Amino acid sequence: MEATQEGGGVVDVKYAKNKYSFVCQLFDKQNTTKPIVDNDGIITDNYAIRLTPENPNTKGFLMEKTAVSIVDTWTAADGGLWEYTFEGLEPLTGDILKPYPVPTND
């Protein structure tokens, strides 16, 4: 948000916090069930999500509290897909998006 003066000069600026979301697609294979149960795309519980990269030189992340939604999609190439969206919510402590380093076998 900007406060401007007459003539267009900027007097002050206020920035909003970042918003984070993580979107992933899972194949809807035969004889599998959804990992998170929904009611027409609505998921009432909050979930945590963690991304742990295979490469130890890259960064992972943790969102301790997210609102989740799902869309059932379909393509001719892939068949059925479940597209989950995890929207980061304010946790009890710390930032919404927290670094998650790859665990080492030391």
Query: How does pLDDT run across 20-74, given as a tens digit for each residue?
Result: 999 999 999 888 889 998 998 889 999 999 998 888 888 899 999 999 999 999 8
- Tell me how far apart the alpha carbons of residues 18 and 88 are, in angstroms, rounded to a whole number: 10
Instruction: Judge whether 41 lies within some domain.
Output: yes
Side chain identity, residue 47: Y
Give how many domains the chain has, as a whole number: 1
Please give the model's pTM, rounded to 2 decimal places.
0.78
* Structural domain containing residue 34: 19-100
Instruction: Judge whether 30 lies within some domain.
Output: yes
